[in-house]
């Protein structure tokens, strides 16, 4: 019973996230001696302690959360982890946690196993410190309109190419079409020749490597897959392929098969 009471008290406990928007010395103000500085610090502490709901001040902000809310957030994340694991199993994808090194670490990490057994998956508490005030206003007014992205989409680690400049080049087709007319097309600095009409139709894309010589190569569209290289460059909720400027290159065909059909992609691989 005592354990239950302690747990209930912990759930009701208020957690204060304090973000300082100015140096602490500026918040406390100029003080002539140690006693006055201590008094100012205690007053600042009391402001935080007495705060029962989120409040913004000129030089700092306090976000208040019940510990039970943080726990529920962690349980929700745990359910997302389990949903992701079930998706990976269904798709035959090997989880990162299945690696030998991870298994060895998990066998000796008893505390992590206890947390996992409880269903708690952790939490992103940093948002309570770093997120702008607009984030909390939107959450307060439209919380019911949002769902975690992991509930509606599968999230997996991306590809490690070893050389993004080569295997994830940029599409410069529109730039070249605008710069070189039909009469000037033969003067375009391409590593191998292609018809302008094929680029106009989309059958061929012109890709530019981003490292070293930064050469431009024609490649068949079927050997290119649109790739979101950096989410920081995405400005809208909906992502269209026309917004994506980088591609992954690849094919199931063998090298000699590409050569046999005189594929522009073969020329790119040979370059």
Residues above pLDDT 70, as percent of the chain: 85
Contact 223, 180 (CB under 8 A): no
pLDDT on residue 106: 39
Q: Which position has the token pair 């009409």?
A: 197
**If you average pLDDT over residues 225-241, what whole number do you get?**
78
pLDDT on residue 211: 66
Domain boundaries, the chain: 1-157, 164-270
Q: What is the residue-averaged pLDDT of the chain?
A: 81
pLDDT on residue 212: 64
DSSP for 203-222, written as a single string: SEEEEE-SSTT--EEEEEGG
- 3-class secondary structure, 190: strand
**If you average pLDDT over residues 40-62, what whole number do you get?**
94
Counting beta carbons within 10 angstroms of the beta carbon of residue 181, is it exposed (0 to 12), middle (13 to 18) or buried (19 or more)? exposed
For residue 198, what are the contacts with CB-CB under 8 A and spacing of at least 6?
A: 204, 218
In Å, what is the CA distance from 149 to each residue of 93, 103, 130? 20, 28, 20
Contact 149, 78 (CB under 8 A): no
pLDDT on residue 96: 54
| Angle at CA of residue 49, ends 124 and 33, nearest 5° | 115
**If you average pLDDT over residues 8-36, what whole number do you get?**
89
Q: Look up the pTM and report it.
A: 0.57
Q: How many residues does the chain have?
A: 271
């Amino acid at each position: 019973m005592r354990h239950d009471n302690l747990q209930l008290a912990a759930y009701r406990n208020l957690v204060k996230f304090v973000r300082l928007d100015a140096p602490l010395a500026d918040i406390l103000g100029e003080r002539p001696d140690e006693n006055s500085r201590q008094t100012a610090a205690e007053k600042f502490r009391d402001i935080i302690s007495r705060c029962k709901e989120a409040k913004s001040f000129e030089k700092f902000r306090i976000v208040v959360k019940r510990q039970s809310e943080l726990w529920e957030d962690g349980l929700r994340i745990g359910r997302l982890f389990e949903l992701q694991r079930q998706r990976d199993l269904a798709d035959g994808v090997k989880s990162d946690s299945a690696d030998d090194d991870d298994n060895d670490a998990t066998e000796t990490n008893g505390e992590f196993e206890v947390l996992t057994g409880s269903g708690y998956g952790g939490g992103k508490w940093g948002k309570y410190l770093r997120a702008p005030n607009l984030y909390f206003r939107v959450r307060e007014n439209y919380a019911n309109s949002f769902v975690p992205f992991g509930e509606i989409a599968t999230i997996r680690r991306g590809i490690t190419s070893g050389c993004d400049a080569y295997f994830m080049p940029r599409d410069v087709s529109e730039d070249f079409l605008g710069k070189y007319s039909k009469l000037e097309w033969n003067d375009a600095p391409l590593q191998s020749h292609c018809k302008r009409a094929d680029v106009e139709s989309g059958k061929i894309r012109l890709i530019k490597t981003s490292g070293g010589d930064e050469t431009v190569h024609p490649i068949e569209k079927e050997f290119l897959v649109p790739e979101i290289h950096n989410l920081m460059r995405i400005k809208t909720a909906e992502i269209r392929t026309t917004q994506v400027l980088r591609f992954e290159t690849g094919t199931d065909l063998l090298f000699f098969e590409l050569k046999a059909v005189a594929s522009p992609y073969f020329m790119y691989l040979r370059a």
